[in-house]
Chain A
Amino acid sequence: MSRDTALVSADWAEKNLDAPGVVFVEVDEDTTAYDAGHIPGAIKLDWKTDLQDPVRRDFVNKQQFEALLSERGIGNDDTVILYGGNNNWFAAYAYWYFKLYGHRDVKLLDGGRKKWELDARTLTKDPVTRPATQYVAQEPDLTIRAFRDEAVAAIGTKNLVDVRSPDEFAGRLLAPAHLPQEQAQRAGHIPTAVNVPWSKAANEDGTFKSDDDLRQIYGDAGLDDSKATIAYCRIGERSSHTWFVLKELLGHQDVKNYDGSWTEYGSLVGVPVVLGDEPGKA
């Protein structure tokens, strides 16, 4: 994978809004932004109600994913362009799902909704419907998904990258600072994890930094391609952003997103936790 296959620019998107076989999809946790104005022709996916299991803590299974995409009119051969708010966090999360379920051609819109808005490009409230399809998903590709036992086993052996803010990493905050701080889990991070906040990979307008800059950032942090990497954050969406950078832009071979992330790990009984700014020892 590379920037050419995984990412499109806002200029490219603007020129290809009506291109046959290209489907624009806005993904957000809160879809009121979509309802107030979206990219012309884009459909919406609600990260919470469409992409999460309604009862247990997991995302939609293969059958649910197939039913969702069929109903929304996305075909197996479509080029899917994902974008969203929150610096593309949830769009990156959805990108990871599309990859997990084997969609052939999926890309992120560089800069997402923020760049589109700051550039004052066209947004519309026109309703969008697409004819239903018969979408067929692949079995989930678990080479890109880490579960809790793998996260524990990775301590001191694999690259663990904690992509939350430095204050969350150190245990001074329990959630990103736009959210109330009272949370059930313990504060801190997984021992031996390095802290490379997701935001290091993005410019102010939400676009990704250049490949050279990205290589420098993760190289300086000691994340090389010789070891497998597990990325995590609080609920797995910011780490999808970093997973995208490492796997899809920089082409690292073995990168998993631990979507259980800190809300799971920080609630586990008996696992080691490190407080403070240093990675800590295994």
Chain B
Amino acid sequence: MTAVTSANTAAGCAAPDQSAPIPASVDLEKETVITGTVVADSGEAVAGAYVRLLDSTGEFTAEVVTSPEGLFRFFAAPGTWTLRALSRHGNGDATVTASQGINQVGVTVA
């Protein structure tokens, strides 16, 4: 499964399964991973939310759809990023100052 996932990501541009473990081929000594969960006001995880990664100037950089558990994941670079989530429950924003390795951030939509 890992091999298939990494082959897909190398060839294409679609977002990989957001709840799958980070593929073994991903080097966390090099990657800056921004990951977290989209939750509603009630605290419930929101599946199928569209999460947009915006750079420090507000420019769109990437978008993924949250997994059934509400998870999202980006491979970015160190710096300040904004996460903007769109969902049927409403929208929400969060900012994160990311460094190399795994950076956790939650987004609440209302």
Secondary structure dominating the interface of A: loop
CB distance A87 to B63 under 8 Å?
yes
Question: Which residues of chain B in 28-61 are interfacial with respect to chain A, using CB atoms and an 8 Å cutoff?
Answer: 30-31, 48, 50, 52-53, 55, 57, 59-61
CB distance B13 to A235 under 8 Å?
yes
CB distance B86 to A197 under 8 Å?
no
A-B contact pairs, 29 of them (CB 8 A): A29-B8, A29-B13, A30-B16, A33-B65, A86-B13, A86-B14, A86-B63, A89-B13, A120-B88, A165-B55, A165-B60, A165-B61, A166-B57, A173-B76, A177-B61, A177-B74, A178-B63, A178-B75, A180-B6, A180-B9, A180-B23, A180-B31, A182-B25, A182-B31, A204-B52, A204-B84, A204-B86, A234-B13, A235-B11
CB distance B8 to A238 under 8 Å?
no
Question: Which residues of chain B in 56-85 are interfacial with respect to chain A, using CB atoms and an 8 Å cutoff?
Answer: 57, 59-65, 73-77, 84
Known: A48-B11, A175-B13, A204-B84. 15 other contacts (CB 8 A): A29-B8, A30-B15, A48-B8, A86-B15, A90-B14, A173-B76, A178-B15, A179-B13, A180-B31, A181-B77, A182-B26, A182-B31, A183-B10, A235-B11, A237-B13
Q: A227 in the interface, Cβ–Cβ < 8 Å?
A: no
> For A182, what are the chain B residues with a Cβ–Cβ distance below 8 Å?
25-27, 30-31
Q: Mark B2-25, 1 if CB is under 8 A from A, else 0.
A: 000010111111111100000101
CB distance B13 to A205 under 8 Å?
no
> For A105, what are the chain B residues with a Cβ–Cβ distance below 8 Å?
none
> For A197, what are the chain B residues with a Cβ–Cβ distance below 8 Å?
59-60
C-alpha gap A230/B94 in the complex (Å)? 36
> For B95, what are the chain A residues with a Cβ–Cβ distance below 8 Å?
none
Q: Mark A113-127, 1 if CB is under 8 A from B, else 0.
A: 010011010000000
Shortest beta-carbon distance, A158 to chain B, in Å?
A: 24
- Residues of B at the A interface (CB closer than 8 Å) are 6, 8-17, 23, 25-27, 30-31, 48, 50, 52-53, 55, 57, 59-65, 73-77, 84, 86-88
- 4 closest residue pairs by CB, A with B: A29-B14, A199-B60, A177-B62, A178-B15
Shortest beta-carbon distance, A69 to chain B, in Å?
A: 22
Contact residues on A (Cβ < 8 Å of other chain), bracket: 35 or more
> For B48, what are the chain A residues with a Cβ–Cβ distance below 8 Å?
117
Q: A167 in the interface, Cβ–Cβ < 8 Å?
A: yes
> For B10, what are the chain A residues with a Cβ–Cβ distance below 8 Å?
183
C-alpha gap A87/B59 in the complex (Å)? 16
CB distance A178 to B86 under 8 Å?
no
Which chain B residue lies CB-closest to A30? B14
Question: Which residues of chain A in 168-189 are interfacial with respect to chain B, using CB atoms and an 8 Å cutoff?
Answer: 172-173, 175-183
C-alpha gap A48/B6 in the complex (Å)? 14
CB distance B61 to A180 under 8 Å?
no
Q: A47 in the interface, Cβ–Cβ < 8 Å?
A: yes
CB distance B73 to A178 under 8 Å?
yes
Which chain B residue lies CB-closest to A206? B50
CB distance A167 to B77 under 8 Å?
yes
Which chain A residue lies CB-closest to B51? A178
Shortest beta-carbon distance, A241 to chain B, in Å?
A: 11
CB distance A165 to B63 under 8 Å?
no
